[in-house]
A and B are shown apart, each in its own frame.
Chain A
Amino acid sequence: MSDIDSALKVLADAVASPREYALAWKQRTGRKVVGAFPMNFPGEIIHAAGALSVVVQDSRAPITDGRSLLPEFHCGYTRSVADQAATGNFDYFDAFLCADHCIQLLGAVDTIRFVMPRTPVHFVQFISSMNDAWGQQQINETMQSFADELEQLLGVQITQEALAESIGLFNRNRQLLRRLYDLRRTGVNITAAQMQLMVQSSMVMDKREHNEILAPLVDLFADWTINPPQPVRLHLSGHLCHAPRAELLTAIEECGATVVDDDLFTGYRYISTDVVTDGDLIEALGRWYVDRNDNVPCPTRVQHNVDWDGYLMQSIDKSQATGVIVLMVKFCEPHMLYYPELRKTLEEHGIPLLLIETEHEGLPLESIRTRVETFVEQIRRRQSSVPVPA
């Protein structure tokens, strides 16, 4: 097994069972585990309070008890959250925090209060209308309320020093992951599944430990083979709140294309932005929330001066992607609302687009392969018909 493979194996184990990882961590440290819901919660605050910050993941387990909590036409992520709460898979969490807006997410978080009545579930919304003059103040106050809540829950004080250290660790983590994105754009052979694994493990693991694994990995990848330039270079877009199945990503790349960039939540969206640490650090986290949406606009926010489609075009420019696959979580309303705007812009710029909807259960890999192969072929034909400049 290569050094890369053995490092990735450690990450894969954590991703395969965040519960086992967290329980072992708890036993080792004697500290608490706090679940944070996607897509905007700053784990730094939880970390600064001495707890393990875990972005609540979807589980591969089929939905059983969750059926009696949410209807089948709610997105797979929320149904899996309700199911995990009902079936005991969340027993290792000491508290949950949520600051987001998506109505389906709120419904799922509310079911946790019903089936896990003894576990605190704290929810205050960050304003989602980003252009309002009073927005920053609201965000700062909400951020402070989370810090207060955590202090009360965990019986600790969140000091500026602890926050500075946590922010430093999280920034370093994001920088390492973004370095991998840079490497991939320049042709280093990092598969989409590997990239996702590295981001997803960061969501569930202790950040210091993750950094310790990641730093040498980045060096190893930097020395890795540069692929011969691939004709079909894809950008993967969307898939909010949770990771698409790794085998889907592998199948896409097995169809003769290379994934060169993404704006998936379990991808670039999660790591796009660092916290700028000048002045009060609670306020710095508030600014981070705003900066993130400037950098990678999210359809669960409303902001008039940035566009997801505009961001996508810039990204494509940077990565020289030749096509976009939109991965959409079935029933994901924010994504369904924004999708036509993405489609319109990509069409205007002549960028081929394929939409693949994913469901919690059942991944029709064969039919997806056929669709991706056709798509890849379409891009190839288009490329061969474009005259090469002399």
Chain B
Amino acid sequence: MSVELASKVNRLNVTKDGGRMVSDYWENIFTARERGKRVVWYNGSAVNPIFQAAGLEWCHGEAFSARLAATHLEGPAQLAGAEYGYIAELCSYARTHLGCAVLTQRAAERAEAGPQEGFETGIVGMVDQEELASKLPTPDFFVNAYAGCSTGQQWDEITYRVFGKKVPIFNVSLPTLWGNKADSGYLRGEEWDRTSEYVAKQLYQLIEFIEVQTGEKFDMDKLRENMTYIKKASQLRREAMDLCAARPTPATFWDWISSIAQINFLPANQELVDYFANIKHEIQTRLDEGVPGIANERYRLYFDGMMNWNKLGWLAKKFADHDVAMIAGRYTHNAFWQEPHLIDTDDPILGMAQHYLLCPTNHGTKTLQHLMTRDVEKYGIDGVVFHSSRTCRAFTNPQHVLAETAQRDLGIQTMFFEGDVADASFYKDEVLDSRLEAMLEAIDVRRIKTGG
């Protein structure tokens, strides 16, 4: 049975503002129709600066699933998905969002049929349906730009089908960076150059598609402006992350998790830049004043895997309770406009295309080994925690090999724990406890042996 832990987590205060920004964003989306806005549903890469430049409102499927899970409201959507036929082993992001699509579509059909027409008598209660389904505005079109994971691309294709194949859809294809050639590597080689150009060309096609949908000429200046904000925000985010190489760390992985939504899909504007400037400022202040991200940092760990949104606060507390500062992770530190130097604000398309390719599930394991090694060395990491996310196999694919790399080549400890991105039923608390304790003991033993 789970026991409430006293928190040793010292969350960045600024992230509370970030939470408010995200809530405001969703509240705004929910009223898009009333405000006469066109709505695009999309999945995968952060193509939203393009939508913003086109005057659209954008609804990111994964983000909505993550939000439902983080606020413990995922149940009704998942039940609706199950009722429709999605098996529980399917990506829980996808089936949560598809459940929303089913509910949204039903709500739209009911609205069209008039008040007397029958409500569904399925297992999802009316209250829940209204609560969730009526909130997501139906899409005017879909855009899919999912790197790495085939499920991400197929998910939107199925959403398109759930909506009766009537809503236009555009696919951006993002090839996996396999990294097989002698010249291949992170941000280099013929494969990198070729695929970057290939995706950039598709983004121009996407802009043409959007022009057809909106009937308006696309505003490239607006996109340049958006990408200038994004580049600035991203630079600040990276600089703030770099400050966390300090011991004890002034902020943790959990703060970065709380700041994903903002960098990933909130509007590009001065508020976004200010948010990351404030984060950096708070971290710098903490450094100056010797304020740590958790009380009594004794272990510095790295988190590999997709976030477990249902258990976010719980995990943050649990690790801190064991004096673990979770410093960095594949998901937070190797995604989300993480290479701002690639963005040319006068001509942003190529740099955007490159970021879409740089998803942390879109590399061959060789590159992931390189990225993990780089982060472990940079942040002085004692061990890697692998979140074995049951239904996100894109993330679990390379984990065993990465674990072996960490142990064999880097000489650090590793552990796995079972959970999921948006389905709490896969999380096993006892297993996490015992494995974490064993790992920390092994770190202690190693320190004694090496006098560290």
Residues of A within 8 A of B (CB): 68-71, 73-74, 101-104, 106-107, 110-111, 113-114, 121-125, 127-129, 131-134, 138, 299-300, 302, 304, 307, 330-331, 333-334, 336-341, 343-344
Contact = CB atoms under 8 A, between A and B. Distances in A.
20 contacts: A68-B400, A71-B393, A107-B396, A107-B398, A113-B366, A121-B180, A123-B176, A123-B180, A132-B171, A134-B205, A299-B154, A302-B144, A302-B156, A333-B393, A334-B151, A337-B86, A337-B154, A338-B154, A338-B158, A343-B85
Contact of B178 (A70, A123, A127): A123
B169 interface: yes
A384 B155 CA distance: 40
B165 interface: yes
A339 B87 contact: yes
Given A113-B364, A125-B176, A128-B173, 12 more contacts: A70-B400, A101-B153, A103-B394, A106-B397, A123-B176, A124-B175, A134-B205, A336-B89, A337-B154, A338-B158, A340-B85, A344-B85
Contact of A336 (B86, B150, B153): B86
A300 B154 contact: yes
B279 interface: no
Contacts of A111: 365, 401
Contact of B400 (A71, A138, A299, A344): A71
Nearest to B155: A337
For B87, B90, B396, which residue has the most chain A Cβ atoms within 10 angstroms?
B87
A104 B397 CA distance: 7
A303 to B, nearest CB: 8
B18 to A, nearest CB: 30
B446 to A, nearest CB: 22
A127 B176 CA distance: 11
Interface of B: 84-87, 89-91, 94, 144, 148-151, 153-158, 160-161, 165, 169, 171, 173, 175-176, 178, 180, 198, 201-202, 205, 361, 364-366, 388, 390-391, 393-394, 396-401, 404
For A103, A110, A113, A114, which residue has the most chain B Cβ atoms within 10 angstroms?
A103
Closest A-B pairs by Cβ, 8 of them: A107-B397, A340-B85, A129-B171, A302-B157, A336-B90, A101-B150, A103-B149, A103-B150
A114 B87 CA distance: 32
A21 to B, nearest CB: 28
B149 to A, nearest CB: 5
B400 A337 contact: no
B120 to A, nearest CB: 14
Contact of B393 (A103, A131, A338, A341): A103
A304 B160 contact: yes
B85 A339 contact: yes
Nearest to B175: A125
A339 to B, nearest CB: 6
For A123, A337, A339, which residue has the most chain B Cβ atoms within 10 angstroms?
A337
Nearest to B152: A103
A69 B89 CA distance: 20
Nearest to A307: B161
For B154, B201, B391, which residue has the most chain A Cβ atoms within 10 angstroms?
B154
B85 A74 contact: no
B158 A73 contact: no
A52 B243 CA distance: 56
B304 to A, nearest CB: 13
Contacts of A122: 180
A55 to B, nearest CB: 19
A334 B158 CA distance: 10
A114 B169 CA distance: 38
Contacts of A69: 400-401
Contacts of A339: 85-87
A103 B158 contact: no
B153 A302 contact: yes
B94 to A, nearest CB: 7
Contacts of B144: 302
